[in-house]
Structure 1
Amino acid sequence: MSKSLPTEIITHEIFSKLPVKSLLRFKCVSKSYNALISSPEFVELHLRESRSSDANRVLIVAGKGRRNLYSIDVDSPDDSVTTIPIQRTQDESTPDKVSIVGSVDGLICVVRATDTWSIPKYKYIIVNPCTRVFREILYTSTHNFFLLDKMVSSFGFGFDDLNNDYKLVTVMDVEHFYQPERDTYRETYREVMVYSLNQNTWKLVERVKDRIDSLMVSQNGALLKNNLLHWLFSDLNDCRIGCFDIRSDKWARDVPLTMNLYEHDEIRVRRLGVINGCLCLSTATNSSGVVWMMKDYETKESWVKLFHITPFLGPPPFVKFTEPFFCFRRASKYEVLVADLDMQRLFWFDIGATTYGRAKSVKRIPAFVGGCLFTESLVQIPGGRHIG
Structure 2
Amino acid sequence: MAGVPIAIIETNILPRLPAESLPNFKLVCKSFNVLISSPEFMEEHCKRSISTNTGRLVILNTNRGFHVFNYDSLDSPPFYLPFPDNFSRRVYIFGSSNGLMCLGNRNAGSMYSYYDLMLLNPLTGMFFKVPSPEITVTWAIESYGFGFDDWTKDYKIARILETHESRSVMVYSLHANSWKTVMSDSHQKSDELKPHDNGTLINNHLLHWIFTDYVQDHPNNRIENNSRIGCFDLRTDEWVDNVGLPHDFDSTPGCYNQCETLGVFDGRLCLLTRSRLEPHLTCVDMWVMMKYGVRDSWVKLLGVSDSCVTSSLQICPLGMAYGSKHDMLLVRGTKHTIPGANRVVLIWYNMHQKKSRLSQVHKVHNLPQQFYDVCTCIKTLVPLPRDTRIRKTPPPLPEKQPSTLEIFSHSRY
TM-score above 0.5, yes or no:
yes
Instruction: In structure 1, give the amino acid aligned to 2:131.
Output: L
User: Which is worse superposed, 74-83 or 253-262?
Assistant: 74-83
2:100 aligns with 107
> Relative to structure 1, is the Cα distance of residues 211 and 83 closer, same or farther in structure 2, using a 3 angstrom cutoff?
same
Three-state SS of the structure 2 residue aligned to 1:75 is helix
| Superposed counterparts of 1:227-306, under 5 Å | 227-236=205-214, 237-262=225-250, 265-284=255-274, 285=276, 287-306=282-301
| Superposed counterparts of 1:323-342, under 5 Å | 323-342=315-334
Equivalent-residue separation in structure 1 for 2:311 and 2:75 (angstroms): 20
Residues 58-97 of structure 1: CA deviation (Å, up to 9, x unaligned): 122322xx131122222226365332333222xx5xx674
1:196 aligns with 173
Q: CA deviation at 1:321?
A: 4.1
> Relative to structure 1, is the Cα distance of residues 318 and 298 closer, same or farther in structure 2, using a 3 angstrom cutoff?
closer
Q: Is 2:83 the counterpart of 1:83?
A: no
Aligned length: 360
Residues 246-275 of structure 1: CA deviation (Å, up to 9, x unaligned): 000000010011342228622222100010
Three-state SS of the structure 1 residue aligned to 2:255 is coil
> Relative to structure 1, is the Cα distance of residues 16 and 107 closer, same or farther in structure 2, using a 3 angstrom cutoff?
same
> Relative to structure 1, is the Cα distance of residues 312 and 337 closer, same or farther in structure 2, using a 3 angstrom cutoff?
same
Q: CA RMSD in A?
A: 2.3
Residues 80-118 of structure 1: CA deviation (Å, up to 9, x unaligned): 5332333222xx5xx674110111111111111223462
Q: CA deviation at 1:164?
A: 0.6
Partner residue of 1:215 out of 193, 202, 213 = 193
> Relative to structure 1, is the Cα distance of residues 167 and 318 closer, same or farther in structure 2, using a 3 angstrom cutoff?
closer
Partner residue of 1:73 out of 70, 73, 77 = 70
Three-state SS of the structure 2 residue aligned to 1:379 is coil
2:36 aligns with 37
Q: CA deviation at 1:311?
A: 3.4
Indicate conservation of the 8 Å contact 1:291/1:307, yes or no.
Answer: yes
Q: CA deviation at 1:36?
A: 3.5
> Relative to structure 1, is the Cα distance of residues 311 and 204 closer, same or farther in structure 2, using a 3 angstrom cutoff?
same
Indicate conservation of the 8 Å contact 2:27/2:33, yes or no.
Answer: yes
Equivalent-residue separation in structure 2 for 1:319 and 1:61 (angstroms): 22
Three-state SS of the structure 2 residue aligned to 1:55 is coil
Indicate conservation of the 8 Å contact 2:284/2:310, yes or no.
Answer: no
Residues 25-73 of structure 1: CA deviation (Å, up to 9, x unaligned): 333445554344223333233223223322201122322xx13112222
2:115 aligns with 122
Give me the identity figure in percent: 33
Q: CA deviation at 1:334?
A: 1.4
Indicate conservation of the 8 Å contact 1:134/1:387, yes or no.
Answer: yes
> Relative to structure 1, is the Cα distance of residues 370 and 140 closer, same or farther in structure 2, using a 3 angstrom cutoff?
same
5+ unaligned residues in a row in structure 1: which ranges? 176-187
Indicate conservation of the 8 Å contact 2:100/2:382, yes or no.
Answer: yes
Residues 283-336 of structure 1: CA deviation (Å, up to 9, x unaligned): 1235221111121222222222111222336xxx99654522211123112111
TM-score (structure 2 length as normaliser): 0.81
Q: Is 2:371 the counterpart of 1:368?
A: yes
| Superposed counterparts of 1:340-351, under 5 Å | 340-342=332-334, 344-351=344-351
Equivalent-residue separation in structure 1 for 2:284 and 2:21 (angstroms): 41
> Relative to structure 1, is the Cα distance of residues 310 and 241 closer, same or farther in structure 2, using a 3 angstrom cutoff?
same
Indicate conservation of the 8 Å contact 1:230/1:243, yes or no.
Answer: yes
Instruction: In structure 2, give the amino acid aligned to 1:167.
Output: K
Equivalent-residue separation in structure 2 for 1:246 and 1:56 (angstroms): 25
TM-score (structure 1 length as normaliser): 0.85
User: Which is worse superposed, 164-173 or 120-129?
Assistant: 120-129
1:167 aligns with 156
Equivalent-residue separation in structure 1 for 2:13 and 2:268 (angstroms): 30
> Relative to structure 1, is the Cα distance of residues 81 and 321 closer, same or farther in structure 2, using a 3 angstrom cutoff?
farther
5+ unaligned residues in a row in structure 2: which ranges? 215-224, 335-342, 392-413
Indicate conservation of the 8 Å contact 1:224/1:274, yes or no.
Answer: yes
Instruction: In structure 2, give the amino acid aligned to 1:49.
Output: R
Equivalent-residue separation in structure 2 for 1:128 and 1:165 (angstroms): 16
Three-state SS of the structure 2 residue aligned to 1:8 is helix
Indicate conservation of the 8 Å contact 1:96/1:113, yes or no.
Answer: no
